[in-house]
Amino acid sequence: MTLTQKQRASEPAQALRNCRTAFIGVGIASALVNVLYLTGSFFMLEVYDRVLPSRSIPTLIALCLLALLLYSFQGAFEMVRGRMLVRIAGALDEAMSARIYRAIVQAPLKLRTHGDGLQALRDFDQVRSFLSGSGPSAFFDLPWLPFYILICFLFHPMIGIVSIIGSLILIVLTFLTNRGTQAPSKRASEAGNLRNAFAQASQRNAEVMQAMGMLGRMSRKWDERNDTYREENRMTSDVGNGYGALSKVFRMALQSGVLATGAVLVIEGLASPGIIIAGSILTARALAPVELAIGNWRGFVAARQSWARLNELLKAMPERDAPLELPAPRERLTAEGLAGGPPGAQRLTFADVNFAVRAGSALGIIGPSASGKSSLARALIGIWPAFRGSARLDGAALDQWDSDRLGRHIGYLPQDVELFAGTVAQNIARFEENASSDAIVAAARAARVNDLILKLPNGYETEIGEGGASLSAGQRQRVALARALYGEPFLVVLDEPNSNLDAEGEQALSEAIMSVRQRGGIVIVIAHRPSALAATDLVLMMNEGRMQAFGPKDEVLAKILRQESRPPQVAGAANLKVVGEGQDNAQ
């Protein structure tokens, strides 16, 4: 059954609702714990009203043994409640962690993200930590406040009235704590995200900063961001700690006030001496959950804000049922009025692209920097959204495919190559479980990188480290090319595939492109250097986000050369003519 939009917006809530039996168990444990908390009050009441007047040691021993037994049960139920809350947090993690991971990975492809992109993971950790901490226990104990006040009234109405007044004051303090910490807590979270993103960017550019003497200047910028974070965090802590200290002092003063009230009642002959101690202990216990809630309020506010952000993210990135599995593409790639740009942005980086490439062809996309080449490549394989038009494989738009199934038919070599920690074989096989050794070696041979891999310390089982740190830039690019060719995908998109290659690497690249063409695949090559186009038969010229020409490589390159050799005025007119001819060819 397909989830409705409303249900999708509350996926974490649904995960918690699945734990309702555990929450009922926590409620029952809390009820038993709060009933057993009366042990201390009634023990003191009996000691003062029965043991001391009768001077009976056996009675005192019996009361001590009974109290010890009840305290043991109380401790056991406290432990059970804590463990159940930890299990609930674990169940939430088990139900949502994979969903959160997918959302983190896909968010940069669909939404405009800020910072390091890991805010959702931190939010999820915040919610899980709060659930497994002492905060929920305080909220489970709060509903028992009227129960304790009622018993205070049974001791004497004056003690009950004092308890009610104290409770109202602590509730007001709780409200003020919430209002005082909400805004600075949110600002502190945002400042922390900016600080962390700056630190990660600095780490990625450590070589540049060191080589060009930027470390001092960037350190001052770091200080500015860290000062902002520290100031917002200090404000949040000051407010929370201030109200927490005030509530603690007030509860101690209230406990003394109850003692004084009990003393007056005893002096006036309206209550027994045991009421003095029992009422004081019971009042302190009645208000303890309120104080604990105030102490945990900062964590509660942070968890609530994290919960809201998680719901917002998951609502913006709903999961859908897997569409009908389509047959493997074998015939053509088409772009029909395709226009797109960065996810979450309101601007187009390319528009009105129309062309068709049949199986066995290789298309080179050329043009000056910022002409929309890489943006077009991302849209052709569904990484970036199509704002208008569509990209189609054998007539089926990309959104008609399940992403994992579509990935089997696509190979992609990005401009900035990034490998994962693991072995060379795992990276080539795209971390596919039980990957065939023959398929891995076949991909390496298709990329002409087999010999290079065999020269590594452990061959295909060489650990390459985080990001492929143990390999050179050229080695990473060639291993990534083998990854793109793994499984003989129908469509292979190579973005600046020769940027880090030597002459031998470029020759291997041309041979790899030809091998894809010979087996009936399609290759898209984004290039600045003409050597990358050696194995292509089609060329698409981009300029300022528009398709300027499309057709056989020799014809298009000849037109471009003629245009560049003419005077500016004539070249401009010829440029308009080429656009028209390119569109005619595309259609």
pLDDT at 306: 84
pLDDT at 357: 92
pLDDT at 575: 38
Q: Which amino acid is present at 50? A: R
Instruction: For residue 56, give both structure tokens.
Output: 């009976």
Burial per residue of 395-411, b for 16 or more beta-carbon CB atoms within 10 angstroms, e otherwise: eeebeebeeeebbbbbb
d(CA 61, CA 76): 23
The DSSP call for residue 430 is T
pLDDT at 565: 59
Handedness of CA 269, 272, 273, 278 (dihedral sign): negative
Of 118-132, 249-263, 482-496, highest mean pLDDT: 482-496
Question: If you average pLDDT over residues 42-53, what whole number do you get?
Answer: 82
- CATH architecture assigned to 410-488: 3-Layer(aba) Sandwich (3.40)
- Are the C-beta atoms of 504 and 393 separated by less than 8 Å? no
Question: If you average pLDDT over residues 136-149, what whole number do you get?
Answer: 83
Question: If you average pLDDT over residues 579-585, what whole number do you get?
Answer: 34
CB atoms within 10 A of CB 73: 14
> Per residue in 341-388, pLDDT tens?
888 777 788 898 999 999 999 999 988 888 888 889 888 888 888 888
Among candidate residues 543, 538, 493, 492, the one with its CA nearest the CA of residue 364:
538
Task: Write down the domain spans for the chain.
Answer: 5-175+240-316, 333-409+491-500+522-587, 410-488
pLDDT at 579: 34
- Are the C-beta atoms of 214 and 208 separated by less than 8 Å? yes
The DSSP call for residue 423 is B
- pLDDT for residue 583 is more than 70: no
- pLDDT for residue 258 is more than 90: no
> Per residue in 474-515, pLDDT tens?
888 889 899 999 989 999 999 888 777 777 777 888 888 899
Instruction: For residue 165, give both structure tokens.
Output: 């007044």
> Per residue in 379-420, pLDDT tens?
888 888 888 888 889 888 888 887 778 888 899 988 888 888
Long-range CB pairs of 237-240 (<8 Å, 24+ gap) are 237/298, 239/177, 239/180, 239/181, 239/184, 240/177, 240/180, 240/181, 240/294, 240/297, 240/298
> Per residue in 149-175, pLDDT tens?
888 888 788 888 888 887 788 778 777
d(CA 430, CA 410): 12
- pLDDT for residue 539 is more than 80: yes
In the sheet that holds 362-366, the strands lie side by side as 410-413, 491-495, 522-526, 362-366, 538-543, 546-552
Burial (CB < 10 A; 0-12, 13-18, 19+), residue 516, is: buried
Mean pLDDT of the chain: 80
Residue 266 confidence class, pLDDT cut points 50, 70, 90: confident
Question: Which runs of E-coded beta strand occur in 184-260?
Answer: none
Residue 77 confidence class, pLDDT cut points 50, 70, 90: very high
Residue 115 confidence class, pLDDT cut points 50, 70, 90: low
d(CA 126, CA 88): 14
- pLDDT for residue 581 is more than 50: no
Question: If you average pLDDT over residues 203-209, what whole number do you get?
Answer: 70
Choice between 346 and 330, residue whose per-residue pLDDT is larger? 330
Q: Is 496 helix (H, G, I), strand (E, B) or coil?
A: coil
CB atoms within 10 A of CB 462: 17
Name the CA dihedral angle for 484, 489, 494, 499, rounded to a multiple of 10 degrees. Answer: 30
pTM beyond 0.75: the answer is: no
pLDDT at 529: 66
pLDDT at 563: 66
Determine the distance from the C-alpha atom of residue 383 to the mean position of all C-alpha atoms in its chain, rounded to a whole number.
18
pLDDT at 1: 38
Instruction: For residue 6, give both structure tokens.
Output: 């409303």
pLDDT above 70 covers a percentage of the chain that reads: 89
d(CA 421, CA 428): 12
- Which CATH number does the domain 333-409+491-500+522-587 belong to among 3.40.50.300, 3.40.309.10, 3.10.180.10, 3.40.50.150? 3.40.50.300
Q: Is 127 helix (H, G, I), strand (E, B) or coil?
A: helix
- Which CATH number does the domain 5-175+240-316 belong to among 3.40.1360.10, 3.30.930.10, 1.10.10.10, 1.20.1560.10? 1.20.1560.10
d(CA 288, CA 303): 22
Choice between 167 and 63, residue whose per-residue pLDDT is larger? 63
Among candidate residues 135, 137, 102, the one with its CA nearest the CA of residue 23:
137
Choice between 7 and 256, residue whose per-residue pLDDT is larger? 256
Handedness of CA 225, 228, 234, 235 (dihedral sign): negative
pLDDT at 182: 74
Choice between 572 and 367, residue whose per-residue pLDDT is larger? 367
For the chain, the C-alpha Rg in angstroms (whole number) is 35
- Which residues have C-beta within 8 Å of that of residue 161, sequence separation ≥ 6? none
5-175+240-316 and 333-409+491-500+522-587: identical CATH topology: no
pLDDT above 90 covers a percentage of the chain that reads: 12
Instruction: For residue 560, give both structure tokens.
Output: 């471009």
- Are the C-beta atoms of 416 and 467 separated by less than 8 Å? no
